[in-house]
């Protein structure tokens, strides 16, 4: 979460990632704990409602082209600087002569009004939502994979490998999150970058995805490492080793499945934080680049117009907050269901 | 103790060194194009670019460039090419603003975080606890720049209760100073209050199930004594730790978004603007400034942690 | 026997849990006289600790329902307000908990923790409380008490911590001491020393002691009377001799029989009886021991009353439908110890 710099979901920190419950961690995931978790989840009404809200928001954003075509009759990049529309029986300019765009009409066209360029705000919110969600989900996925990989290797190998990985995390940690994100984002957005055969253009969404996923790795890799340190000492690992399983096999076939509930617990919360960070980076000009919309860029340009057209700031923000809130509440419920004692924590 | 301090110091210096290298790489290696041209600003003239290339040694090998950069930083006469202003002077100018923001927000967020966290734990499961929990999650979900912009607009511009952003020196007008910082403090605390209250609430609930709390009850202590002396005393340790780390983070200008949206002109905003301009000397300086406070408070937190929890010996306190 | 020090009548404690209502204590009655050591024995999870803690209101909570009466002298503690209980806890009833490793607050010095209890009940200065703590620590056998009083719990071994707990429990000379498995998890020599302290308290203060344990060896050594618990209920109670020499409940036979099969240095380990104790959320109807009992029959679907079966054995109660003769003959088949004729036991 931007500003805090800490992953907002981090709970408790300084104490070493608490020894996870033997019951949930020790035994390979059987049907028992999963069914129990599912039952707890089903019983938690708030979690289901907010989960539903999130799914609805996602579907709505996915359906953006349909909305644009059939309801708003305009696209996300279409300017209507010199157009007029009928409102209350009068003909009004979409963007007034003083540069002030129209406010919400509360009907299909320009539902939430227009922006400076006469673009339909609702349409842009939906398209912006696609970008924000795409970035959030992909970044969270990458963070998840990188942290699991690093945490697994560091925790299992220990010794020097662990030392190197842990020190790397320490360095990332010493950066203010937003500063690091903005720095990377700005620097990459300047000229794009080449990663082996892939070349990424300056305006590409891959840049914020990459930046955000890197920034959050230390927050998750540490607790994963802590968990692996405990798991590797358990009997089933010992058994696998004594049957001649190599380190790769032990790590990925034996230990990895036991990290599943951790991943499930972290994922929604990671998405929420990634979406927030995307908004923050875009707000500072280091995330999604115009004319591509995202909730952060829309708030950024909206704030400049806040006095004459506050809806330009409010509307994308409400969607952003609703999405993040839904994910956070849902994520909390998932955590309570899978890890009721709060043993697995996103570390500080 | 001494050995610990020395080791801690060495590792802190190493981390700062790594941060400086990484920052240097981010800005000198990743972006395409001629750094001298970038450094010369928006409308570079050819002789200017030549002079910069010469001064910073952009034709030298990369490690020499890094050395040049660090030397310039430590002699304190680095100048922004963009504004022609001395970087150290600018940071000194911004620091009091950033510190004022940090201290106020830290006090507020700890105060309310503890109050709400304790209240929530005492009323766990009741509707008031659920309301607080939801509020806390809302705090975590609100982007501070959005919240700040709306506060500024409605409470500042429309209603005129608060100034619409900006900063007044304390010496100039203490009330004005306070009034200008009010909204930034609140906006920034909102997040941390949400964060601390949740952490504290769940820590209290966990501590309440500890055997030693049962022992305390069995001794005949009042509920208040059990709570204050045993439950809170134990559950506050993680919160204080988190709080210390966050404090270092804001002190170092980490609250970039808050500073920017309220136009406080502190170190954080200075950092944001310099990044936007790719004003490299400034970026290096502010990043190190921020990292310094984070690393410093990390060390302080370790020491405090060891003082609060007798089980921790300094030798094996949290990894740096 | 004079008026009992502590009497428990029909105590019921249930917890609301995720899986349903868990009836941890189900209609338990007992009496404790001054200077007496009453042992409560039973398998893990049968509700011993819950019983003990409920006596002083330590299980109270939003999800707990406590019914029945616990009378300390004339006062009823179940209905007592929390503030009334404050004066009882630690001062009149003190408890030594099961797990010495986690029962002390890690952030305070042990002396402070003992002094805290003294000062909760007596108006004494901090120095005086500290002096008392040192003296108490010495009394429970902690060497160099003057310096160890300032140590933190983590600097102590499990046995030492348990001694601190005992010192704490003794600090206000309670009338009732509840020792919940005070010696489990400690090694044998330390066990003996700890028990010695408990016995001393009984001698010196004429306190009543409830000793909860798995270990029948310990029971045989120190107890005056024994109550056998199974799945939330007392299934048999009586004097030490009555229980050991004329046990009336098949569960007790099993417990006693398993003693001989256990090697003695693993005392404290679970007695082994075929099968597992029932769930307390959905216990079997009638006698809870029925599913594991080789002698169960139709009648056992009704809960047998806890009654005196042998008119000559005052105070020896059990909860089994079998008649006295059947018990005595069937018991022979079980094998094990204590099969001396009842008459001999009474001699
Ligand atoms: N606070 C509680 N909430 C819900 N269930 C509880 C609670 N405390 C105890 N129980 C349950 O009550 C039952 C009896 O527990 P108790 O601790 O009294 O057993 P015990 O006889 O002391 O066993 P042990 O010998 O292992 O100490 C157990 O099934 C336990 O899970
Ligand atoms: Mg017990």
Q: How far is C225 from chain B (nearest CA, A)?
A: 25
Residue of A22, A1, A14 whose CA lies nearest to A343: A22
In angstroms, rounded to a whole number, what is the distance separating the alpha carbons of residues C155 and B22? Answer: 44
Contact C209, C197 (CB under 8 A): no
What pLDDT is stored for residue A17 in this prediction? 31
Q: Is beta strand C307-308 parallel, antiparallel or unpaired with respect to C233-239?
A: unpaired
What pLDDT is stored for residue C332 in this prediction? 57
Residue of A306, A271, A257 whose CA lies nearest to A100: A306
Residue C249, exposed/middle/buried by CB under 10 A (0-12, 13-18, 19+)? Answer: buried
A311 CA to middle of ligand 2, Å?
A: 62
Residue of B238, B256, B255 whose CA lies nearest to B305: B238
Q: A131: which 2 tokens?
A: 């970008």
Judge if the upstream peptide bond of residue A291 is cis by omega within 30 degrees of 0.
yes
- Note whether B195 contacts A179, CB cutoff 8 Å: no
pLDDT in tens, A79-134: 888 777 777 777 888 787 787 888 888 877 888 888 888 888 999 999 999 999 99
Is residue C179 helix, strand or coil? strand
A164-168, A266-270, C164-168, C262-266: least confidently modelled range: C262-266
A31 CA to middle of ligand 2, Å?
A: 29
In angstroms, rounded to a whole number, what is the distance separating the alpha carbons of residues C28 and C24? Answer: 10
Contact A85, A92 (CB under 8 A): yes
Determine the residue among B22, B101, B145, B187 to mutate to test chain A binding: the one whose Cβ has the most chain A Cβ atoms within 10 Å. B145
- Note whether B294 contacts A286, CB cutoff 8 Å: no
Is residue A55 helix, strand or coil? helix
Q: How far is A317 from chain B (nearest CA, A)?
A: 7
Q: A238: which 2 tokens?
A: 């010992």
C181 CA to middle of ligand 1, Å?
A: 13
Q: What is the largest CA-CA distance in chain C?
A: 66
Is residue C68 helix, strand or coil? strand
What pLDDT is stored for residue C106 in this prediction? 93
Contact C154, B311 (CB under 8 A): yes
- Note whether A299 contacts B255, CB cutoff 8 Å: no
Look-up of token digits 């740096």: B320
- The answer to whether B300 faces chain A, any CB pair under 8 Å, is no
Residue B233, exposed/middle/buried by CB under 10 A (0-12, 13-18, 19+)? Answer: middle
Q: B107: which 2 tokens?
A: 């006090």
Average pLDDT over residues A28-34: 56
- Give me the numbers of helices (H) and strands (E) for chain C, helices first please: 12, 12
Q: What residues pair up with C208 in beta bridges, in sequence order?
A: C176
Is residue C317 helix, strand or coil? strand
Residue of C245, C260, C243, C254 whose CA lies nearest to C317: C243
Intervals of chain C under pLDDT 70: 1-2, 185, 258-272, 332-347
R_g of chain B, CA atoms, integer Å = 24
What pLDDT is stored for residue C270 in this prediction? 42
- The answer to whether C89 faces chain B, any CB pair under 8 Å, is yes
Average pLDDT over residues A230-251: 88
Average pLDDT over residues A142-149: 94
Domains recognised in chain B with CATH numbers: 2-75 (no CATH), 94-318 (1.10.3720.10)
Ligand 1 pocket mutation pick from C12, C24, C103, C277 by most atoms within 8 angstroms of CB: C24
Nearest CB among A1, A183, A324 relative to B23 is that of: A183
What pLDDT is stored for residue A14 in this prediction? 27
Residue C264: other Cβ atoms inside 10 A? 10
- Note whether B212 contacts C154, CB cutoff 8 Å: no
CA C281, C284, C286, C287 torsion: positive or negative? negative
Q: If you write DSSP's letter for every residue of C198-243 in order, what string do you get?
A: HHHHHHHH--EEEEEES-HHHHHHH-SEEEEEETTEEEEEEEHHHH
Domains recognised in chain A with CATH numbers: 34-64+126-292+316-346 (1.10.3720.10)
In angstroms, rounded to a whole number, what is the distance separating the alpha carbons of residues C238 and A264? Answer: 55
Contact B205, B124 (CB under 8 A): yes
What pLDDT is stored for residue A195 in this prediction? 66
C213 CA to middle of ligand 2, Å?
A: 8
Helix axes C158-170, C188-205, angle to 10 degrees: 10
- The answer to whether C49 faces chain B, any CB pair under 8 Å, is no
What pLDDT is stored for residue C144 in this prediction? 93
CA A299, A305, A310, A312 torsion: positive or negative? negative
DSSP at A288? S
C45 CA to middle of ligand 1, Å?
A: 5
Main-chain phi, psi angles of C198, to 5 degrees? -65, -45
To the nearest 10°, report the CA torsion of C108, C109, C110, C112. Answer: -80
What pLDDT is stored for residue C46 in this prediction? 92
In angstroms, rounded to a whole number, what is the distance separating the alpha carbons of residues A176 and A169? Answer: 13
pLDDT in tens, C18-75: 788 999 999 999 999 999 999 999 988 999 999 999 999 999 988 899 999 999 988 9
Lateral strand order in the sheet of C6-17? C20-32, C6-17, C64-72, C75-76
Q: What residues pair up with C40 in beta bridges, in sequence order?
A: C212, C227
Predicted confidence band of residue A142 (pLDDT cuts 50, 70, 90): very high
pLDDT in tens, chain B (320 residues): 677 778 778 888 888 899 889 888 887 776 666 777 777 766 778 888 888 888 777 778 888 888 888 888 888 878 887 777 888 899 999 999 999 999 999 999 999 999 999 999 999 888 999 999 999 999 999 999 999 999 999 988 888 888 887 888 888 888 889 989 999 999 999 989 998 999 999 899 999 999 999 999 999 999 999 999 999 999 998 899 889 988 998 898 888 899 999 999 999 999 988 887 777 788 888 988 998 998 889 888 888 888 888 887 654 444 33
- The answer to whether B209 faces chain C, any CB pair under 8 Å, is no
Nearest CB among C62, C86, C103 relative to B215 is that of: C103
- Over 70: is that where the pLDDT of A234 sits? yes
Residue C15, exposed/middle/buried by CB under 10 A (0-12, 13-18, 19+)? Answer: middle
In angstroms, rounded to a whole number, what is the distance separating the alpha carbons of residues A40 and A23? Answer: 17
Lateral strand order in the sheet of C307-308? C93-96, C176-180, C208-213, C37-41, C225-230, C233-239, C317-318, C307-308
What pLDDT is stored for residue B313 in this prediction? 64
Q: A55: which 2 tokens?
A: 């799914």
Contact C139, C170 (CB under 8 A): yes
Contact A155, A224 (CB under 8 A): yes
CA A43, B201, A335, A316 torsion: positive or negative? positive
Q: If you write DSSP's letter for every residue of B138-186 in order, what string do you get?
A: HHHHS-HHHHHHHHIIIIIIIS-SS-SS----TTT-HHHHHHHHHHHHH
Q: Note the ipTM here.
A: 0.86
**For residue C180, which ligand has an atom nearest its CA?**
2
What pLDDT is stored for residue A61 in this prediction? 93
Residue C81, exposed/middle/buried by CB under 10 A (0-12, 13-18, 19+)? Answer: exposed
Q: Which residues of B touch C89 (CB under 8 A)?
A: 217-220
Residues with CB under 6 A from ligand 1: C 15, 17, 22, 24, 42, 44-50, 98, 280
pLDDT in tens, A59-92: 999 999 999 888 888 888 888 887 777 777 778 8
Residue of C10, C9, C16, C12 whose CA lies nearest to C71: C9
Instruction: Please provide the average confidence, as pLDDT, over all residues in chain A.
Output: 82
């Amino acid at each position: 979460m931007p500003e805090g710099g800490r992953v907002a979901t981090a709970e408790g920190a300084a104490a070493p990632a608490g020894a996870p419950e033997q019951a949930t961690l020790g035994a390979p995931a059987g049907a028992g704990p999963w069914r129990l978790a599912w039952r707890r989840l089903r019983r938690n009404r708030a979690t289901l409602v907010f989960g539903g809200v999130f799914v609805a928001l996602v579907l709505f954003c996915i359906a953006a082209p349909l909305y644009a075509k059939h309801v708003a009759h305009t696209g996300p990049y279409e300017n209507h600087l010199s157009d007029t529309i009928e409102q209350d029986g009068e003909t009004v300019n979409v963007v007034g002569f003083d540069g002030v765009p129209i406010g919400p009409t509360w009907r299909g066209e320009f539902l939430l009004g227009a922006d400076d360029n006469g673009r339909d705000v609702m349409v842009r919110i939906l398209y912006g939502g696609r970008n924000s969600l795409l970035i959030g989900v992909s970044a969270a996925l990458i963070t998840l994979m990188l942290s699991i990989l690093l945490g697994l290797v560091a925790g299992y190998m220990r010794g020097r490998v662990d030392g190197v990985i842990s020190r790397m995390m320490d360095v990332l940690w010493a950066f203010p999150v937003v500063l690091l994100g903005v720095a990377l984002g700005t620097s990459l957005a300047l000229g794009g970058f080449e990663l082996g055969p892939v070349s990424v253009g300056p305006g590409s969404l891959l840049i914020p995805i990459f930046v955000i996923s890197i920034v959050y790795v230390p927050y998750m890799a540490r607790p994963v490492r802590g968990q692996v340190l405990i798991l590797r000492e358990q009997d089933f690992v010992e058994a696998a080793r004594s049957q001649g399983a190599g380190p790769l096999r032990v790590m990925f076939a034996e230990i990895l499945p036991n990290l599943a509930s951790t991943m499930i617990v972290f994922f929604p919360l990671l998405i929420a934080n990634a979406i927030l960070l995307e908004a923050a980076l875009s707000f500072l000009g280091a995330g999604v680049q115009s004319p591509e919309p995202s909730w952060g860029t829309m708030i950024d340009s909206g704030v400049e117009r806040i006095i004459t057209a506050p809806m330009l700031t409010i509307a994308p923000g409400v969607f952003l907050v609703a999405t993040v809130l839904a994910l956070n509440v849902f994520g909390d419920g998932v955590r309570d269901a899978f890890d009721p004692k709060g043993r697995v924590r996103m570390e500080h | 103790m001494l050995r610990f301090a020395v080791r801690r110091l060495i590792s802190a210096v190493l981390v700062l060194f790594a941060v400086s290298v990484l920052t240097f790489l981010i800005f000198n290696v990743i972006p395409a194009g001629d750094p001298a041209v970038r450094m010369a600003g928006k409308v570079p003239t050819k002789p200017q670019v030549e002079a910069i290339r010469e001064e910073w040694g952009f034709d030298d090998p990369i490690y020499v460039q890094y050395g040049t950069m660090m030397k310039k930083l430590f002699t304190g006469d680095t100048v922004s090419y963009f504004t022609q202003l001395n970087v150290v002077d600018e940071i000194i100018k911004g620091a009091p603003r950033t510190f004022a923001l940090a201290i106020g927000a830290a006090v507020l967020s700890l105060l309310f975080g503890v109050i709400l966290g304790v209240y929530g734990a005492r009323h766990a499961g009741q509707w008031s606890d659920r309301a607080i929990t939801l509020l806390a999650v809302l705090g975590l979900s609100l982007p501070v720049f959005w919240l700040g912009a709306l506060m500024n607009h409605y409470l500042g511009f429309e209603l005129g209760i608060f100034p619409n952003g900006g900063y007044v020196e304390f010496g100039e007008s203490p009330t004005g100073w306070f009034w200008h910082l009010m909204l930034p403090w609140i906006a920034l605390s909102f997040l941390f209050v949400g964060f601390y209250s949740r952490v504290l609430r769940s820590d209290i609930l966990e501590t309440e199930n500890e055997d030693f709390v049962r022992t305390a009850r069995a001794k005949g202590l009042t509920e208040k004594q059990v709570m204050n002396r045993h439950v809170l005393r134990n559950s506050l340790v993680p919160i204080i730790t988190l709080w210390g780390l966050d404090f270092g983070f804001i002190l170092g200008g980490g609250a970039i978004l808050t500073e920017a949206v309220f136009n406080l002109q502190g170190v954080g905003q200075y950092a944001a603007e310099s990044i936007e301009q790719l004003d490299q000397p400034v970026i290096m300086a502010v990043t190190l400034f921020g990292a310094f406070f984070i690393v410093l408070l990390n060390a302080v937190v370790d020491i405090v942690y060891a003082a609060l929890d007798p089980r921790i010996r300094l030798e094996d306190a949290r990894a740096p | 026997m004079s008026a009992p020090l502590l009497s428990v009548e029909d105590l019921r404690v249930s917890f609301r849990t995720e899986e349903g209502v868990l009836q941890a204590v189900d209609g338990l009655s007992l009496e404790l006289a001054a200077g007496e050591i009453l042992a409560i024995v039973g398998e893990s999870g049968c509700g011993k600790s819950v019983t003990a803690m409920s006596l002083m209101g330590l299980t109270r909570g939003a999800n707990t329902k406590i019914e029945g009466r616990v009378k300390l002298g004339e006062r009823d503690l179940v209905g007592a307000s929390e503030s009334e209980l404050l004066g009882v806890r630690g001062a009149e009833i003190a408890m030594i908990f099961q797990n010495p490793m986690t029962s002390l607050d890690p952030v305070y010095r042990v002396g402070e923790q003992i002094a805290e209890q003294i000062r909760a009940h007596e108006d004494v200065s901090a120095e005086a409380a500290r002096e008392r703590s040192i003296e108490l620590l010495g009394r429970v056998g902690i060497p160099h008490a003057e310096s160890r009083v300032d140590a933190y719990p983590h600097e102590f071994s499990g046995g030492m911590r348990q001694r601190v707990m005992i010192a704490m429990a003794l600090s206000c000379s309670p009338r009732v001491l509840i020792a919940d498995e005070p010696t489990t998890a400690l090694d044998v020599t330390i066990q003996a020393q700890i028990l010695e302290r408990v016995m001393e308290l009984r001698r010196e203060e004429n306190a009543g002691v409830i000793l909860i344990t798995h270990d029948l060896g310990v029971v045989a050594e120190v107890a005056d009377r024994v109550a056998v618990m199974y799945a939330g209920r007392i299934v048999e109670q009586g004097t030490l001799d009555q229980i050991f020499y004329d046990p009336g409940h098949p569960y007790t036979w099993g417990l006693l029989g398993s003693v001989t099969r256990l090697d003695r240095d693993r005392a404290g380990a679970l007695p082994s009886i075929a099968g597992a104790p029932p769930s307390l959320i959905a216990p079997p109807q009638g006698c809870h021991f029925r599913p594991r009992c080789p002698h169960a029959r139709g009648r056992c679907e009704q809960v047998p009353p806890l009654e005196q079966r042998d008119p000559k054995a005052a105070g020896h109660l059990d909860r089994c439908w079998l008649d006295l003769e059947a018990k005595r003959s069937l018991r022979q088949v079980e094998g094990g110890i204590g099969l001396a004729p009842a008459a001999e036991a009474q001699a």
